[in-house]
Copies of this chain bind each other. A is one copy, B any other.
């Protein structure tokens, strides 16, 4: 019984086939196979490069530097020259940076009591305070008009003015120099967006242009907004947000010198800006002073501007170095058939049995015909 089980275990089982010698069907069959092979080679291997390994775990570091100056002249602030140390917030060159294009200064604010500008009060009734502490007294210009609520806070309070046009008119001509360094640790590949060039003055003169200078890392603000489909002066008046997408899609098999970034520009608050309450982008910051007597004062700045967010995406692909893991036919049928068909002594008998030949010309006679 044990002997039989071993015998049975060592029997080789293969599918039995019918072979038809109808030429039309044969041609059809081969054409179909060719189209499948053509599809696999053409689409999977050439177009999709399915034999390559794809890696999208990108490590990216971005350093930015803005250049340019602007002059403003307002009644509150006087004549002012703005450099990057004033209009770029924060100044340390991060991948998210805000460029001031307009501002409203409220100078010489001191802690004290004064009239609010937005919280109205009516005929001796005091309102509920509009989220402001210590609001009890109603300050009115005359007996019958509505007044505004008295507050304790930084006085005088900020005026309720919306800018009609950007004050830093020259902001359109400011430039951002973007240094991006990427790494794909899996492939030990690293690259910078700054071209290796012998021309030292290139990086001092060039400005990004999709056609002429696609790899120049210096961007004029006005060009960025234009490419994102926005009008700079409109955005500069109330503020907005722009994304600068750096896309690295590289085939490392073609050589690393062909691996270059592509820049895209997109408005990041487009949907938001459709609604009046959410329109624009501004925030307040303050500078603090102390006078000789040690009293504190501050200058409050409400700044409007454009926030630039540099987003880095990418993937690289590289030819697979390991052995092909796909075993053609998991149980070796193909391999064993080859042995039986061509290498064993009983090959003729095996062929007779494995392939039953069907001849259409003489279809009613014997079909067990040798194909060799």
Instruction: Give me the interface of A with B, judged by CB distance under 8 Å.
Output: 7-30, 32-33, 36, 39, 43, 57, 59, 61, 63, 65, 67-71, 78-81, 83-86, 89-94, 96, 98, 108, 111, 131-134, 152-154, 170, 173, 179, 181, 183, 185, 190-192, 194, 196, 200, 203-204, 241, 243, 245, 266, 268-272, 274-278, 281, 283-292, 294, 297, 299-300, 307, 309, 311, 313, 325, 327, 330-332, 335-336, 339-340, 344-346, 349-350, 353-358, 360, 363-364, 367, 371
| Chain B residues positioned under 8 Å from A24 (CB to CB) | 344
**A131 in contact with B69 (CB, 8 Å):** yes
| Chain B residues positioned under 8 Å from A272 (CB to CB) | 179, 181, 192, 194
**A231 CB, min distance to chain B CBs, angstroms:** 19
A11-B340 contact, Cβ under 8 Å, with A61-B268, A285-B92, A346-B22: no
Extra contacts besides A15-B18, A20-B340, A181-B241 (9): CB < 8 Å? A20-B350, A36-B331, A63-B269, A65-B283, A71-B134, A92-B307, A133-B170, A196-B275, A203-B277
**A15 in contact with B17 (CB, 8 Å):** yes
Name the residue among A7, A12, A57, A194 with the largest chain B CB count within 10 angstroms: A12
**B335 in contact with A363 (CB, 8 Å):** no
**A59 in contact with B245 (CB, 8 Å):** yes
User: Which 5 residue pairs across A and B have the least CB separation, nearest first?
Assistant: A10-B26, A32-B332, A61-B268, A192-B271, A16-B16
**B271 in contact with A190 (CB, 8 Å):** yes
**A203 in contact with B278 (CB, 8 Å):** yes
A85-B192 contact, Cβ under 8 Å, with A16-B17, A133-B71, A200-B276: no
**A97 CB, min distance to chain B CBs, angstroms:** 9
**A93 CB, min distance to chain B CBs, angstroms:** 5
| Chain B residues positioned under 8 Å from A32 (CB to CB) | 331-332, 335-336
**A81 in contact with B353 (CB, 8 Å):** no
Cα–Cα, bound, A81→B349 (Å)? 97
A353-B367 contact, Cβ under 8 Å, with A20-B11, A96-B94, A284-B84: yes
Closest-by-CB residue of B relative to A68 is: B131
A153-B15 contact, Cβ under 8 Å, with A10-B26, A289-B290, A349-B364: no
Cα–Cα, bound, A261→B6 (Å)? 52
**A371 in contact with B335 (CB, 8 Å):** no
| Chain B residues positioned under 8 Å from A13 (CB to CB) | 17-20, 355
| Chain B residues positioned under 8 Å from A18 (CB to CB) | 13-16, 350, 353-354
Partner of A12, one of B29, B154, B313, B327: B29
Cα–Cα, bound, A346→B281 (Å)? 79
Can you name 14 A-B pairs with beta carbons within 8 Å? Answer: A7-B23, A10-B21, A12-B26, A29-B332, A59-B243, A61-B243, A71-B133, A79-B152, A86-B286, A181-B272, A191-B271, A194-B271, A203-B275, A344-B360
**A363 in contact with B346 (CB, 8 Å):** yes
| Chain B residues positioned under 8 Å from A346 (CB to CB) | 22, 358, 360, 363
Cα–Cα, bound, A59→B270 (Å)? 14
Cα–Cα, bound, A114→B331 (Å)? 84
| Chain B residues positioned under 8 Å from A311 (CB to CB) | 59
Closest-by-CB residue of B relative to A281 is: B63
